[in-house]
Homo-oligomer: A and B are copies of this chain.
Amino acid sequence: MQVPLSFLKKTSLFRGTTEEELPTLLDCLKPSYRDFAKGEIILRQGEDVSAVGLVLSGRAQVIEEDFWGNRNILADAMPGDLFAESYAFLPGELLRVSVVAEEPSRIMLVDSRRMLEICSSACRFHTRLVQDVLAESARKNLALTRKLSHMSKRTTREKLLSYLSGQSLAAGSETFEIPFNRQQLADYLCVDRSAMSNELCKMRDEGLLSFDRSNFHLKSEIEV
Residues of A within 8 A of B (CB): 64, 66-68, 72, 74, 85-91, 93, 96, 116-117, 119-120, 124, 126-127, 130-131, 133-135, 137-142, 144-149, 151-154, 161-162, 164-166, 168-170, 190, 218, 220
Contacts and interface: CB of A to CB of B under 8 A. Distances in A.
A152 B186 CA distance: 11
Nearest to A153: B190
Q: How many copies does the complex hold?
A: 2
A166 B66 contact: yes
A88 B88 CA distance: 22
Contact of A165 (B68, B120, B124, B141): B68
Given A116-B131, A138-B87, A169-B96, A148 B147 contact: yes
Contact of A67 (B120, B154, B168): B168
